[in-house]
Amino acid sequence: MHFSRLLRTIILGLINLFGGLILVGFAAWIHYRINGPYNPGEIALEDWSLALAIYTVPLQLGAAIEAIIIGLCTRFRWIKVNHGRLAVGAFSLISLYFAISAIWVGMTSRYSNLFGVLLYEFIITLPLWLAWGLLFLLPHRQQRRKNS
């Protein structure tokens, strides 16, 4: 096995591991969000909302970074284009879910700074624009038919 192929295999394995950890973390976040209000005796409401807010930032950043890395791997033709678009779309949806929920909380809360929330979400979703740009800047392969 050539060194470049070995390196590519290791990098793709680490990307899959990182993506799996993000998906497991997102599932745990959803479980914690759903389970918290139904069990108020276990967790205080203030601790519950603070833990969700703190856990949101690394998940949102991780999903955006994973989308960029998958976009780059698709650009280098390490991942098939259809698989890359599906993966970037999935991690973009995770990041956009957090962005939309933060904007909704910012709009409904009396004490929040909506401009600050919108600016934060704009900055945190910039990597998604880069990831989708990497995918759409791919040259499309045209199949040529032989005239016989």
d(CA 58, CA 65): 10
Between the CA of residue 37 and those of 34, 40, 49, 134, what are the distances in Å? 7, 6, 10, 40
Average pLDDT of span 112-122: 85
Return the number of other C-beta atoms located less than 10 Å from residue 11's C-beta.
Answer: 14
Q: How do residues 27-71 score in pLDDT, each as one tens digit?
A: 988 888 888 777 777 777 677 778 888 888 889 888 989 998 998
pLDDT band at 147 (very low <50, low <70, confident <90, very high): low
Per-domain residue ranges for the chain?
Answer: 12-136
